[in-house]
Amino acid sequence: GDSVTQMEGPVTLSEEAFLTINCTYTATGYPSLFWYVQYPGEGLQLLLKATKADDKGSNKGFEATYRKETTSFHLEKGSVQVSDSAVYFCALGRAQKLVFGQGTRLTINP
Amino acid sequence: GAVVSQHPSWVICKSGTSVKIECRSLDFQATTMFWYRQFPKQSLMLMATSNEGSKATYEQGVEKDKFLINHASLTLSTLTVTSAHPEDSSFYICSAKDRNGRNEQFFGPGTRLTVL
C-alpha cells in the first residue's frame, strides 16, 4: 500500500541556515504530494502541494519538487527563521485520503 | 477562513467509560470529515471518513463499534470512544473538507485522550 517516509527529527538549526527535510514515498500511479506544518497548539496547515511529476510547490519561502524518478518530495528553505519552528508532515493524497509521514520536529535557534 | 475546532482539547477518563469528541467546521460547510489517530512520534493514521447524512467508512483494522462516528450536520462530526481502555489513549485529530470546491482538508487542533 501507499506509504511515506520522512527524515527523522528533531532537527535543530540556527536562524538563516538552509533547511532540507527529506521525504520519500511508495505508491502506485500518480498521487498528489503535500507538506503540512503544525505550529504548537494548532492544527495541521497545508504548506504546499504538487499534483504531478516535476511540479514545484512553494509557499512562505519553502519549496518542494515532485520527483517521480526518485519518488521524493523534499522540503527546502534557503534561510529559516525562528518562526519556522514547528512539526512538518509529508503526505501523499489519493481519492481524498491522505497518508502521512511520521513528522519532523524543527527547532530554529536565534 | 477554514477554521476547524475540536472539543475537548484534552480529556481524562476511567477505563470502561465512553468519551465523545466533537469536530466543528466554524466558517464553512463540510460534507466530508476525517478522523485520525496519532501515536507519540508517529504519523497520523486515518481511522474513518465521515460523510454528512450517511454511515462512516472505516479503515481496515478500525473497530466501528468501538469508535462511533456521527456526522449529523454539515458543520459537526462526533467521535465516541466506547468502553475506553488505556490502549485507546492517543491524540485524535479531525479534518474537514469544504463542500464548496476547495479541494483541501482543514485540520482541527486535536484532542488528547488519556484513559486511566
Write out chain B residues lying below 8 Å of A36, CB-based. 107
pLDDT, one tens digit per residue, over B1-51 is 688 999 999 999 999 999 999 999 998 888 899 999 998 777 899 999 998
Whole-number pLDDT of residue B53: 81
**Interface mutation vs chain A, best among B3, B43, B93, most A CBs within 10 Å:** B43
- Gyration radius of chain A's alpha carbons: 13
State whether residue B87 is helix, strand or coil. helix
> Residue type at B16?
G
Put simply, the answer to whether A101 touches B109 (Cβ < 8 Å) is no
For chain A, list residues with pLDDT below 50: none
Whole-number pLDDT of residue B72: 81
B40 or B110, which is more confident: B110
Put simply, the answer to whether B95 touches A46 (Cβ < 8 Å) is no
Mind telling me how many Å the CA of B99 is from chain A's nearest CA?
13
Dihedral of CA atoms A21, B48, B65, B30 in degrees, nearest 10, equals 130
Put simply, the answer to whether B106 touches A43 (Cβ < 8 Å) is yes
CA A109 to chain CA centroid, nearest Å: 20
Whole-number pLDDT of residue B102: 63
